[in-house]
Structure 1
């Protein structure tokens, strides 16, 4: 064999190795440039092979007798570059609009077929291996491997079925029939990874996931329904109880308003009327906070409206349902003032004195309590009903029995940041500055609690939420303003 014929395979090998180096230098972020490099080097290698009259599609035993290494390496590199060029086209142009998981699956299957075809071609056209006998032998081997890798293959084919069926996509929150639930964070051929609410990563084999019942909470959206059952002593008509529970849902800030929440009477007996509160939250992660708020509001509204929660049916203790507990009828000013966090540490004498100075006021549903930008001259504690906080026409939040408002103008000389309206019939206890000023002089910690409450109230509806350091700075500014106002008033009174 002449020297030129020997140099041509070496040139093909050099082009093949240079193409590999340049291909890697392009990086994964430039798939189009990689494809151009693959095509360019593959075309150059094809031209050299054609010029040397080496047919890559035909096995020539004479090449194995002389310069075996160069010819084998040249034809092998040519087949490898052919496979990479085809795979580059597949990865770049085989795309299904709006279905990235299906596109990725089809790409992987085509790539696997390309690699298998190139491997068989190299064995047949480069090394002269009889493919027919190899395929017959490989069938037996495939059966043995299939039995040995049965569970793994089951996961792989289950992964294909899940990908094509699309019961979920990355980011969806799913619940399984065995109680496992979480957000899908990754999915591959063998398994699916869920991030649970406890921030744990659960790895589920695809074969297991394909067999169990699956509920996709994120489809068609992430609104999630919750049902809270409440048992109320039958001291009032069911219609009254339903009205109170509707007020509970009206005053809740953590639930979705559309579709509207509902209340239904599901049972009645001599000891209790059972109602179910059905409402939705924006995501599964909000179930806990929303349920906590609803239960808290059930207690507050029942106490404010004279409803008595029933004892559990299995409890050995039972209250006489025909004799309502008088402590549950209405919310006396003393009890309501004691339930307000800023007044919870007052002595009984101080609560009684504050309650004597309180004035009961009533507002019809829809009444404007104070307009946005105006100041209230008294502190108002909600006895019964719901107050809506509005910024313009947008509702920001709602206040329930036990909440208070008006501290902005009373204590810090500020105007209301939000307008306040009676969402339902409303009853409030009104406390003037003359009743609260002596408590601030005697108990400075009340001013600190009020400043923290004011800072938190100002942050309602703020987008984006203020950082913690800014909220703390605002709290200190409000505390200084409250103390300054009451210090000047005290000095004026002495003079």
Structure 2
């Protein structure tokens, strides 16, 4: 039978463990720091009682039924509080690091490993089940389950790899190699959800996402460079055209001013001068409205400066000499049809 010293220690450990569970429950998830402090205090108290009594958490001499129950319950509670304390540190780190949602996959993986390790420890140290034999049997079952859930496990591990690699974070706007683009609104074990510009949700399996080339449009910031090509009839000098286009860009409110928009005279021929307008927008969602504003501003400034837009080169009409028995006449053909 247990001596009085060990019996008191085991009873005290059980009381501390049960009290810790009650206090932990009423703390709630909204106070992670207070919850962790409570977990540490109760776990430290239980550990101190074990150490002062000379009792090891993985071995206690059991000689009677009452002592066996006390010892088992005390050790189970100690291992449970150990798991909760470790999980509390993990979750507190995620909250302090200010990325609780985007690191959810990694957090859940670490928490699952902690609970699995504690469950195996309780099984082996408390109930005396040979863990090696259990692990071997579980390995065969794991192989069968792994083959049956091959695609699902591929999504899970791809999600973990994407979380660790961090090519994007929650809220980033990304563009995939297949042309799909949108903002990251949710990541789960199996898939990543994109909110597109058309307000649709695209669900991409993580294994598919990991194989596609990806452009993060939000890094280093969301500003994007856009170009608009304009052809102006050669009725004015190039510097007049450049000044009019620069003024047109300067009057647009939906484009950013830093960096400043640029006007590049790209080419010139007998009919027109090609102009490229370069400007930045605050983010991908602003591209359409900004482009519309620039085109409207260019049209208004062309009218104000007596400029006219030129036709594209493919629509030029050229003169060909008359052939054969035809009279000397001017034949008009489209350059695109030659």
Alignment TM class, shorter chain as reference: 0.7 to 0.9
**Residues 173 and 183 of structure 1 are in contact (CA less than 8 Å); yes or no, is this contact kept in structure 2?**
yes
For residues 279-358 of structure 1, the aligned pairs below 5 Å read 279-312=279-312
* Cα drift, residue 226 of structure 1: 1.1
**Residues 59 and 128 of structure 1 are in contact (CA less than 8 Å); yes or no, is this contact kept in structure 2?**
no
Deviations 1:169-200 (A, max 9, x none): 33322222222222223334443333322333
Distance 1:221 1:24, change over 3 A: same
* Cα drift, residue 70 of structure 1: 5.3
* Cα drift, residue 301 of structure 1: 1.9
Tell me, in whole angstroms, the C-alpha distance in 2 between the residues paired with 1:296 and 1:139: 67
For residues 417-456 of structure 1, the aligned pairs below 5 Å read none
For residues 451-466 of structure 1, the aligned pairs below 5 Å read none
Counterpart of 1:298 in 2: which secondary structure? Answer: helix
Residue 210 (structure 2) aligns with: 210
Residue 112 (structure 1) aligns with: 112
Q: Let me know the Cα RMSD of the aligned residues.
A: 3.8
Residue 28 (structure 1) aligns with: 29
Residue 260 (structure 1) aligns with: 260
* Cα drift, residue 86 of structure 1: 2.8
* Cα drift, residue 11 of structure 1: 5.9
* Cα drift, residue 19 of structure 1: 1.8
> TM-score scaled to structure 1, two decimals?
0.54
**Residues 244 and 305 of structure 2 are in contact (CA less than 8 Å); yes or no, is this contact kept in structure 1?**
yes
Distance 1:305 1:52, change over 3 A: closer
Tell me, in whole angstroms, the C-alpha distance in 1 between the residues paired with 2:71 and 2:111: 26
Tell me, in whole angstroms, the C-alpha distance in 1 between the residues paired with 2:99 and 2:26: 30
Tell me, in whole angstroms, the C-alpha distance in 1 between the residues paired with 2:20 and 2:96: 30
**Residues 158 and 207 of structure 2 are in contact (CA less than 8 Å); yes or no, is this contact kept in structure 1?**
yes
**Residues 255 and 282 of structure 1 are in contact (CA less than 8 Å); yes or no, is this contact kept in structure 2?**
yes
Tell me, in whole angstroms, the C-alpha distance in 1 between the residues paired with 2:180 and 2:15: 56
Size of the aligned set, in residue pairs, is 318
Distance 1:139 1:304, change over 3 A: same
Residue 336 (structure 2) aligns with: none
Residue 222 (structure 2) aligns with: 222
Structure 1: runs of 5+ lacking an equivalent: 322-495
Tell me, in whole angstroms, the C-alpha distance in 1 between the residues paired with 2:283 and 2:109: 36
Tell me, in whole angstroms, the C-alpha distance in 2 between the residues paired with 1:90 and 1:134: 28
Tell me, in whole angstroms, the C-alpha distance in 2 between the residues paired with 1:307 and 1:38: 76
Distance 1:47 1:100, change over 3 A: closer
Distance 1:96 1:213, change over 3 A: farther
* Cα drift, residue 79 of structure 1: 1.3
Structure 2: runs of 5+ lacking an equivalent: 320-338
Tell me, in whole angstroms, the C-alpha distance in 1 between the residues paired with 2:42 and 2:303: 82
Structure with the greater relative contact order (CA < 8 A, sep ≥ 6): 1 or 2?
2
Residue 164 (structure 1) aligns with: 164
Residue 244 (structure 1) aligns with: 244
For residues 133-152 of structure 1, the aligned pairs below 5 Å read 133-152=133-152
Deviations 1:325-383 (A, max 9, x none): xxxxxxxxxxxxxxxxxxxxxxxxxxxxxxxxxxxxxxxxxxxxxxxxxxxxxxxxxxx
Residue 76 (structure 1) aligns with: 76
**Residues 102 and 164 of structure 1 are in contact (CA less than 8 Å); yes or no, is this contact kept in structure 2?**
no
**Residues 59 and 124 of structure 1 are in contact (CA less than 8 Å); yes or no, is this contact kept in structure 2?**
no
Tell me, in whole angstroms, the C-alpha distance in 1 between the residues paired with 2:51 and 2:257: 74
Residue 326 (structure 2) aligns with: none
Counterpart of 2:170 in 1: which secondary structure? Answer: coil
Distance 1:197 1:38, change over 3 A: same
Residue 130 (structure 2) aligns with: 130
**Residues 262 and 278 of structure 1 are in contact (CA less than 8 Å); yes or no, is this contact kept in structure 2?**
yes
Distance 1:244 1:171, change over 3 A: same
**Residues 62 and 68 of structure 2 are in contact (CA less than 8 Å); yes or no, is this contact kept in structure 1?**
no
Distance 1:166 1:58, change over 3 A: same
Counterpart of 1:140 in 2: which secondary structure? Answer: helix
Residue 201 (structure 1) aligns with: 201
1:16 to 2:21 alignment = no
* Cα drift, residue 290 of structure 1: 1.4
**Residues 197 and 285 of structure 2 are in contact (CA less than 8 Å); yes or no, is this contact kept in structure 1?**
yes
**Residues 27 and 34 of structure 2 are in contact (CA less than 8 Å); yes or no, is this contact kept in structure 1?**
yes
Tell me, in whole angstroms, the C-alpha distance in 2 between the residues paired with 1:152 and 1:30: 34
* Cα drift, residue 296 of structure 1: 0.9
For residues 333-412 of structure 1, the aligned pairs below 5 Å read none
Residue 335 (structure 2) aligns with: none
Tell me, in whole angstroms, the C-alpha distance in 2 between the residues paired with 1:219 and 1:66: 64
**Residues 261 and 278 of structure 1 are in contact (CA less than 8 Å); yes or no, is this contact kept in structure 2?**
yes
Tell me, in whole angstroms, the C-alpha distance in 1 between the residues paired with 2:94 and 2:186: 22
Tell me, in whole angstroms, the C-alpha distance in 2 between the residues paired with 1:100 and 1:7: 42
Distance 1:169 1:94, change over 3 A: closer
* Cα drift, residue 111 of structure 1: 3.1
Counterpart of 2:122 in 1: which secondary structure? Answer: helix
